[in-house]
């Protein structure tokens, strides 16, 4: 009795309890206990809390390794214990040989211990999503996932990742690496390769830094197949609800650009203020038993991933390096770049096999050096500065309209159709000219084309590294213009776009307006001096812009408002 009331046993009694929903547990315990008593020839023996927990885990489709994690046991020890005990009792109960843990549920199901079942495969119980939604089997939502029909190499990475996801049943996998190295592409490829394993697959980018509530609501609604329901109110309850689904069905969630919600300061892996609950979510996803997998891609390692990952733990990290020589050559060849083996290898080495850098470099070589790699390498003395330097070079070469398209794509933050870019740009330009610019920028990998499946239009956006580069240009340029009173960018581009969706507006304030004010603060010291400076610009220059189309006064008013923490103008006033 003492044994059964210990805190540890009580804790075990809570593990894998969802087995109760689909299995006649009471009868199973009774019959297996009987088998145990026969086997041991001890008629007072009962099933231990550990045995019961293992039984529940096994019939829910958890492997012994996963069960060991959950019960805080050493996996090999538990495996031996199962082979000597529980498997033998089940054998004598079912009359079937239990060669592998996955036979357990199959054989017990045959004997009628399961209430209902759909499908006939070994993992039928995992796929029994009737507990969650009754009619839908394989649910997939790719969100804004990029097209990976052209994909080179990464064989060993994909083998490792598939093993972690399929065999080791990892709960959390982090793909880490610098911008442009191929994290997003790899995450999509992986999800495509393993999707058959899962009842639900959802791919989401955190690039626009959704709040944790928004993300959890999206996920919960997805698992409920968009049915109207009362969503839990607190973050904690939302996370619990999510985990409940991740237990009931096998789900794959990919969260791309996780670094968008990290602070990126000196202490890598910490959260931006207001986003700390993402850490709580990762912690709970790692600690709690469920049969699903969450993949995150990030430039920095989130602290929870660092704390919970390990070779024998259900949390793993894969640090991505560049493509190997042969695969990187594929990228260059697809761009039509040819050269001697030596030159090509040197180019790949210069960019560490970073596919994005190589794509941009390849077009630079065409644009600036008539396709001559040797000239490019020779001239590009600071080449080792990587993508940045390359982008400076590319930017210098853009036409004024291409510049406009680059700035506006950055300001829009999310993929937008050509028509939207056309309505942003002042003075008005023709759609044909915009499309021409977009084509040329896409070829140089400075803009990426997407397909908006709902509205059936092409949309355009930038890779995060490039968007960051453009944001920095805009912030630096705007700061300088306010300081010197020589206005150009500030009239051509809106720092906060009129009528933006709320989350985009927040994003524009955070990445554009606040850094400009931050820069001004370091030059001008106090908030009131900043205010004075902006007002002076407004007073002195308004006449110059009064009959020119543009965003000058709206931008300065927005800066004033946010600087003074004053009332933000309503969208119709902008």
Instruction: Indicate the residue whose CB is closest to ligand ADP.
Output: 182
Residue 355 touches which of Mg ion, ligand ADP, none (CB < 5 to 8 A by kind)?
ligand ADP
Residue 180 touches which of Mg ion, ligand ADP, none (CB < 5 to 8 A by kind)?
ligand ADP
Distance CA 259, CA 265 (A): 11
Q: How does DSSP classify residue 202?
A: E
Ranges of H-type helices in 380-488: 387-396, 400-412, 418-424, 431-443, 464-484
Ranges of H-type helices in 25-135: 25-40, 49-59, 64-71, 75-84, 86-94, 101-110
Residue 153 touches which of ligand ADP, Mg ion, none (CB < 5 to 8 A by kind)?
ligand ADP
Q: Are 554 and 411 in contact (CB under 8 A)?
A: no
Q: How far is the CB of 199 from ligand ADP (least distance, A)?
A: 26
Q: Which stretch binds ligand ADP (CB under 6 A): 86-94, 177-185, 374-382, 408-416?
A: 177-185
H/E run at residue 554:
helix 552-563
Beta bridge pairs of residue 204 = 255
- Sheet of 172-176: strand order equals 139-141, 200-205, 251-256, 293-298, 172-176, 315-319
Q: Which stretch binds ligand ADP (CB under 6 A): 134-142, 145-153, 467-475, 515-523?
A: 145-153
Q: Does 181 bind ligand ADP (CB under 6 A)?
A: yes
Q: How far is the CB of 77 from ligand ADP (least distance, A)?
A: 40
Q: Are 171 and 287 in contact (CB under 8 A)?
A: no
Distance CA 24, CA 30 (A): 10
Q: Which of residues 201-220 bind ligand ADP (CB under 6 A)?
A: none
Q: Site for ligand ADP (CB under 6 A): which residue of 64, 180, 210, 302?
A: 180
Beta bridge pairs of residue 294 = 172, 253
Q: Site for ligand ADP (CB under 6 A): which residue of 64, 85, 182, 210?
A: 182
Q: Does 298 bind Mg ion (CB under 5 A)?
A: no
Q: How far is the CB of 434 from ligand ADP (least distance, A)?
A: 22
For residue 149, count CB atoms less than 10 angstroms from its CB and return exposed for 0-12, middle for 13-18, buried for 19 or more. exposed
Q: Which is nearer to Mg ion, 283 or 463 (CB)?
A: 463
Q: Which is nearer to Mg ion, 184 or 440 (CB)?
A: 184
- Sheet of 416-417: strand order equals 416-417, 457-461, 448-452
Q: How far is the CB of 189 from Mg ion (least distance, A)?
A: 13
Q: Site for ligand ADP (CB under 6 A): which residue of 90, 185, 249, 441?
A: 185
Q: How far is the CB of 296 from Mg ion (least distance, A)?
A: 11
Q: Which is nearer to ligand ADP, 324 or 483 (CB)?
A: 324
Structure tokens at 346: 């040197």
Q: How does DSSP classify residue 226?
A: T
Site string for Mg ion, 181-200 (x = CB under 5 A): ---x----------------
Distance CA 461, CA 471 (A): 13
Residue 341 touches which of ligand ADP, Mg ion, none (CB < 5 to 8 A by kind)?
none
Q: How far is the CB of 298 from Mg ion (least distance, A)?
A: 9
Q: Are 492 and 551 in contact (CB under 8 A)?
A: yes
Q: Does 314 bind ligand ADP (CB under 6 A)?
A: no
Q: Does 154 bind ligand ADP (CB under 6 A)?
A: yes
CA-nearest of 219, 160, 149 to 189 is 149
Q: Which is nearer to Mg ion, 207 or 554 (CB)?
A: 207
Q: Are 246 and 291 in contact (CB under 8 A)?
A: yes
Q: Which of residues 342-361 bind ligand ADP (CB under 6 A)?
A: 355-356
Residue 179 touches which of ligand ADP, Mg ion, none (CB < 5 to 8 A by kind)?
ligand ADP
Q: How far is the CB of 340 from ligand ADP (least distance, A)?
A: 23
H/E run at residue 417:
strand 416-417
Q: Site for ligand ADP (CB under 6 A): which residue of 1, 2, 42, 150?
A: 150
Q: Which is nearer to Mg ion, 206 or 361 (CB)?
A: 206
Q: Site for ligand ADP (CB under 6 A): which residue of 126, 139, 171, 183?
A: 183
Distance CA 346, CA 354 (A): 13
Q: Does 151 bind ligand ADP (CB under 6 A)?
A: yes
Q: Which stretch binds ligand ADP (CB under 6 A): 89-97, 173-181, 478-486, 512-520?
A: 173-181
Distance CA 473, CA 448 (A): 19
Q: How does DSSP classify residue 513?
A: I
- Residue 332, CA distances (Å) to 187, 261, 525 in order: 22, 33, 49
Q: How far is the CB of 327 from ligand ADP (least distance, A)?
A: 6
Q: How does DSSP classify residue 166?
A: I
Size of the site for Mg ion (CB under 5 A): 1
Q: Which is nearer to ligand ADP, 239 or 323 (CB)?
A: 323
| Neighbour tally for 107: CB within 10 Å | 18
Query: Which parts of this chain interact with ligand ADP (CB under 6 A)?
Result: 150-154, 177, 179-185, 323, 331, 355-356, 463-464
Query: Which parts of this chain interact with Mg ion (CB under 5 A)?
Result: 184
């Amino acid at each position: 009795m003492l044994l059964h009331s210990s805190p540890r046993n009580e804790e075990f009694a809570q593990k894998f309890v969802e087995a109760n929903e689909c299995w006649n547990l009471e009868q199973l315990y009774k019959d297996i206990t009987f088998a145990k008593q026969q086997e041991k020839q001890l008629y007072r023996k009962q099933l231990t809390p550990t045995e019961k927990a293992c039984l529940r885990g096994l019939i829910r489709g958890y492997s012994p390794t996963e069960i060991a994690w959950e019960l805080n046991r050493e996996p090999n020890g538990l495996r031996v214990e199962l082979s000597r005990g529980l498997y033998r009792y089940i054998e004598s109960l079912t009359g079937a040989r239990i060669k592998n843990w996955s036979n357990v549920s199959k054989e017990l199901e045959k004997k009628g211990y399961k209430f209902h079942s759909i499908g006939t495969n070994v993992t039928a119980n995992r796929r029994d999503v009737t507990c969650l939604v009754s009619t839908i089997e394989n649910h997939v939502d790719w969100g804004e996932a990029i097209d990976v029909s052209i994909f080179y190499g990464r064989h060993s990475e994909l083998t490792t990742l598939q093993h972690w996801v399929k065999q080791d049943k990892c709960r959390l996998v982090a793909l880490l690496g610098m911008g442009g190295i191929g994290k997003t592409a790899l995450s999509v490829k992986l999800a495509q390769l393993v999707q058959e394993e899962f009842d639900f697959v959802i791919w989401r980018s955190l690039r626009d830094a959704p709040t944790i509530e928004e993300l959890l609501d999206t996920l919960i609604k997805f698992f409920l197949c968009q049915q109207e329901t009362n969503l839990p109110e607190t973050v904690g309850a939302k996370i619990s609800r999510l985990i409940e689904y991740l237990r009931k069905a096998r789900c794959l969630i990919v969260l791309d650009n996780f670094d968008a919600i990290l602070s990126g300061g000196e202490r890598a892996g910490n959260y931006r203020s207001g986003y700390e609950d993402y850490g709580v979510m990762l912690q709970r996803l790692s600690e709690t038993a469920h049969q699903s997998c969450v993949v995150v891609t990030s430039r920095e390692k989130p602290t929870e991933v660092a704390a919970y990952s390990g070779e024998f733990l259900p949390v793993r990290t894969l640090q991505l390096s560049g493509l190997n020589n042969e695969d990187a050559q594929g990228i260059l060849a697809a761009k039509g770049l040819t050269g001697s083996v030596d030159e090509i290898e040197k180019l790949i080495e210069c960019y560490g096999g970073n596919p994005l850098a190589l794509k941009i470099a390849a077009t630079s070589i065409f644009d600036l050096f008539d396709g001559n790699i040797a000239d490019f390498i020779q001239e590009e003395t600071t080449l080792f500065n990587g993508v940045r330097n390359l982008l400076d070079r590319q930017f210098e070469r853009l036409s004024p309209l291409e510049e406009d398209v680059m700035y506006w794509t950055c300001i829009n933050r999310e993929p937008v159709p050509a028509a939207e870019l056309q309505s942003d740009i002042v003075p008005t330009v023709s759609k044909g000219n915009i499309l021409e610019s977009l084509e040329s920028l896409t070829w140089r990998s400075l803009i990426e084309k997407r397909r908006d499946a709902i509205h059936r239009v092409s949309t355009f956006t930038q890779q995060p590294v490039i968007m960051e580069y453009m944001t920095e240009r805009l912030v630096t340029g705007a700061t300088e213009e306010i300081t010197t009173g020589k206005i150009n960018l500030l009239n051509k581009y809106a720092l906060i776009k009129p009528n933006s969706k709320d989350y985009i507006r927040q994003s524009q304030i955070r990445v554009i307006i606040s850094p400009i004010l931050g820069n001004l603060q370091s030059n001008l010291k106090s908030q009131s001096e900043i205010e004075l400076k902006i007002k002076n610009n407004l007073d002195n220059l308004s006449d110059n812009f009064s009959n020119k189309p543009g965003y000058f006064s709206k931008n300065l008013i927005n800066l004033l408002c946010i600087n003074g923490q004053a009332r933000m103008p309503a969208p119709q006033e902008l």
